[in-house]
Structure 1
Amino acid sequence: MRGTDSRSARVGAVALGILCHTMFAIGVAWMAIGLWTGLRIGRGTLTGASAIAADILLAVQFPLLHSWFLSRRGQRVLTAPFTRDFGRDVVTTLFATFASIQLIAVFTLWSPVGPVLIEPRGSLWIVSATLYGASWLLLAKSMLDAGLGIQTGWTGWSAVARGRAPRYGPLPTRGLFALCRQPIYFAFFAILITAPVWTVDRVLLVAVWGAYCLAGPVLKEARFASIFGDVFAEYRTRVPYFFPRWTIRRKETP
């Protein structure tokens, strides 16, 4: 009998699932609005050098903790408040919940420090807004191809609620993952740079998170190499790392 088969474990899993998806929805919405406005929705009250220092800490904590909680040691800390079996099975739910809370913290506690640098009008605004919306759709598609249940935290809590072990599936290699190995990070980067309004605050955030989008997946790939072995090694040899490779099939002439 699994340690997560009890009624209390199932009720706890459902409660955790509700919390996870609530935080996820708020985090995504707040990020979308925050970037759209150039982070001017921040409720932080600091000014001057104190605001800049606090904003840098807010920006940096997200990629650092995000990567650390994906490590074995980080996952042990993340699941420490729970029993071993329960924590192990809902780790994806816990990770998605905490990542969402991190996003909410960034865009809520941010102290705006700079003026608007660029705010396009007319047709330029339409182009920028369209690209921004398309980038969010690209992120949704890449998450779907990666396994939406894992990305949103659904896989963990829903498995425990049904008295089953979570299933994570094979290495994603289809859809957008056939074009590049890191489509989620690519889409996230596209979101960062396509929102219409540019402020000093957004430049700061893009500098930190943009660097993470480019370099952060290195740790993820090391983890995939240990999990999937030769399957990932073969996949890595034929699919580019970050920027998609678009290929056009040409008809062979007789």
Structure 2
Amino acid sequence: MSRFFGITFGLATHVLFAFTVWHLFWFLKGPLPDDLRAAPLGLGAALGVDTLLSLVFAVPHSVFLLPSVRRRLVSAGIPSPFYGCFYCVVTCAVLLLTIFCWQPTSVVAWRWPAPFDGVVSAAFAASWAALFYSLYITGLGWQTGWTPWWHWARGLPQPKRVFVERGAYRFLRHPVYLSFLGLIWFAPLVTLDRVVLIAVWSTYIFVGSALKDGRLVHFMGDTYRDYQARVPGYPGVGFGPLGRVPPRLMADRDAIGAASRS
């Protein structure tokens, strides 16, 4: 890859990221009561399209992070320092597709009355603050691909990502996903199409959390296993893969996984 193309691609990726975050904010903020409108499609067709659009984001967002998929794509020609940028571009592209092709409905599922609507709006804003805080302490540059790309651009060796247990990560394993749950749930007015988004993306978040735990065990081994045994995935979850996972249970899962791969 030429240096000019690599630098241009990295910079363009982060411009696209900022553009996507801006549109995602307004998309998730939801409509005001006076702005409710229905898509020209019928209600059933609109909800069907929205379900597909919700899945279009959820599925590749997890699949492209699987270690086996990453290895294959790097072997197919994506330079390793640019994989994070590639992943960011794919994520932004499917998010923008979802946002711009979304089919709104005017059927209200629930609506928070005053003054609770203000509380919910404040919780939405707080979720954004929590999201960026969580991304900051876990390494926003790794999320967008900036960190490996920036090392490549300066001719430095590729860094190794290290997990540091600090801030919110001392109390739960998935503060980023928890913040994102707030973004999709905290809306003063929820229409049927928003219910579809909430249902699909909430399911994705919990499944994605378990998959992320598996990836981090793959890359970090006993360090992350010890962390899983001490810190729950989410507040109040005391069982299952998103609770504290006892070392013996993790060892059994590793043995099953190794047997299935052999």
Asked whether the equivalents of residues 97 and 153 of structure 1 are also in contact (C-alpha less than 8 Å), the reply is no
Matched residue, 2:50: 55
The equivalent of 2:252 in structure 1 is none
**Structure 1 position 181 matched with structure 2 position 173:** yes
Report the identity percentage: 30
Greater mean alpha carbon deviation, residues 153-162 or residues 132-141: 153-162
Deviation (angstroms), 1:164:
2.0
Give the equivalent residue in structure 1 for 2:191.
Answer: 199
Q: Tell which deviates more after alignment, 46-55 or 230-239.
A: 46-55
The 1-side partners of 2:119 and 2:184 are apart by 15
Cα distance, 1:184–1:41 mapped onto 2, change above 3 Å: farther
Residue 14 of structure 2 is aligned with which of 17, 21, 25? Answer: 21
Relative distance call for 1:177 and 1:125 in structure 2 (3 A) is same
The 5 Å alignment of 1:52-201 reads 52-76=47-71, 79=74, 83=77, 87-120=79-112, 122-201=114-193
Matched, 1:34 2:27: yes
Give the structure, 1 or 2, with the largest relative contact order (CA under 8 Å, sep 6 or more).
1
| Alignment TM-score, normalising by the size of structure 1 | 0.83
Cα deviation, residue 145, structure 1: 1.0
**Structure 1 residue 224, shift from structure 2 partner:** 0.9
8 Å CA contact retained: 2:217, 2:225: yes
Helix, strand or coil: the match of 1:164? Answer: coil
Separation in 1, partners of 2:37, 2:69? 29
8 A Cα contact 2:47 2:196, kept in partner: no
What's the CA shift for 1:74? 3.0
Cα drift, residue 75 of structure 1: 2.4
SS at match of 1:240: coil
User: Any idea what SS the aligned residue of 2:115 has?
Assistant: helix
| Equivalent in the alignment of 2:233 | 241
Match of 1:136, SS? helix
Alpha-carbon deviation of 1:198? 0.8
Task: Name 1:218's counterpart in structure 2.
Answer: 210
Report the 3-state secondary structure (helix = DSSP H, G, I; strand = E; otherwise coil) of the residue aligned with 2:162.
Answer: coil
Q: 1:78 to 1:128 in 2, by over 3 A?
A: farther
* Alpha-carbon distance in structure 2 between the residues aligned to 1:213 and 1:71: 15
SS in 2 for 1:181: coil
The superposition leaves residues 195-227 of structure 1 with CA deviations (integer Å, 9 ceiling, x where unpaired) of: 222111111100000111122111111111111
For 1:193, the aligned partner's letter is W
Change (3 A) 1:221 1:201: same
Q: Deviations over 1:87-107 (max 9, x none)?
A: 211111111121111111111
Q: Tell me how far apart the structure 2 counterparts of residues 236 and 36 of structure 1 sit (CA, whole Å).
A: 33
CA RMSD of aligned residues (A): 2.6
The one-letter code sitting in structure 2 at the alignment partner of 1:215 is: V
Count of aligned pairs: 235
Tell me, in whole angstroms, the C-alpha distance in 2 between the residues paired with 1:70 and 1:230. 20
TM-score by length of 2: 0.81
Structure 1 residues 149, 70: CA separation in 2 closer, same or farther (over 3 Å shift)? same
In structure 2, distance between residues paired with 1:124 and 1:53: 31
Q: Which residue of 2 aligns with 1:11?
A: 4
- Which deviates more from structure 2 when the two are superposed, residues 23-32 or residues 174-183? 23-32
- Residue 138 of structure 1 and its aligned partner are, at CA, apart by 0.4
